[in-house]
Structure 1
Amino acid sequence: MKKTHTVMQPDLQGLEITKGELKALSGISVNAVIRPFKLRKVFQEVFTSIVVLVLLILSCLLLILCFPTYRIILIIIHLFFAIALVFEDFKKIFITRKNKHFVSLIDDVERYNSVIKSIDINDQIEAAGNPGVKLKDRERVIQALRLTREDIVRALKTEKIIRENQAFINLNPDLFANNLKALTALQVDEKASEYGRILNEALQIGMSIQDEMKHLKGEQFNE
């Protein structure tokens, strides 16, 4: 049976921040960092690499037994992959430690995208014949998400500029102005409503981004 593809509502299209856009804005791939950057996660990464290294060694030994004439070439090839694997792990740890603010922003991006996904699923349920789940004040919710997206994009661009130009932030403090006031103005009293929940989530993401920007700004002034 052919699976039908449901297209997002027009007002949701283009709001999601994809991995490709995230890399273009920040200059760093999501796969280039360890998340969450905790000791347990680092150990998991290292353990996985050790398992792969063991498999490489076994593969090398097996191939040498089968093709002893090419043992030098086989050793060189496997050694190359082993070094590349170890280098990749060290690179991930280094990039993650050096760009903790970027890692925090990735978390904000994922939370933001999850809000959009929840609205999309809600739209699909409504389209399936359930008008009772229709999102109230949809235009204001979408407006809140657009403002949040602007903040995330600004934060990613600013983080990249600071990372690549250490003195830049001291000359351009205006880059830290965001839309937090506008988001706050959109907040509603109906916290229990679906609209209030989504709008509050957008507000929390905006506040999280503002905190990251303050930390970045403070670190630059202290250097």
Structure 2
Amino acid sequence: MKKTAWITGASGGIGSAIAVLFAQNGYRVALGYQHGKQKAEALAQELCAAGFEALAVGGDLANRQTAFAAAQTIQETFGSLDVLVNNAGISQVGLFDCMTEEEWRRICGANLDSAIYCSQAASKYMISRKSGNIINIASMWGEVGASCEVAYSVTKAGLIGLTKALAKELGPSGVRVNCVSPGMIDTEMNAHLAAAEVAEIADETPLGRIGTPAEVARAVLFMAGEEASFITGQVLGCNGGLVV
């Protein structure tokens, strides 16, 4: 029986890579988006044209009602909701003492509130079937912190805490909760960095380069699969050895 994966932030580099890889591995995929409607719908059409089952589902997932409505739409369309990948997120670069309340609320909503509400919405279907997977996309900065990215680091650290606590709560219901924590990845989110900055980070990385969205996607697929059936509450680093 086919499984369904809901990937939030699927219009971005990592999200779209996850969606494509899951579809190629037999999953029906729901592509969550907020602002990237054109990209998400184009990807869904591309996947459907290739013979896969895909659906673009829009909305601001920092709103609890929207998150629950999206989960219900996916359940009703595909008949199940087996995997949730909380990938939606934004960055916020700047000095901590210059951060406004609006900026703080915005990044908390996008990075943390959305994951909590989507997890609540998806887990009710998983608990009823005694099976399911929730995979949170954090960041190495959530593990060690980053100067001038305090808010981003805090919200990503929150996802790691969510992973560990929710894994204990949902484990008895057969639902696994894990986290993939990427390092520097070649995405639009990091496009603001100068070439020299990227080269410096690559030089500091033991593998000598930055990562790709496809490499993060493969880590997520592993966590969702039977190969990881006895793994829950864990943080899988995908950072080239920069953080160990």
Q: What is the TM-score when the length of structure 1 is the normalising length? A: 0.29
Structure with the larger RCO, 1 or 2 (CA within 8 Å, 6+ apart): 1
Larger CA Rg, structure 1 vs 2: 1
Q: What is the TM-score when the length of structure 2 is the normalising length? A: 0.27
Q: Which has the higher helix share?
A: 1
Q: Which has the higher strand share?
A: 2
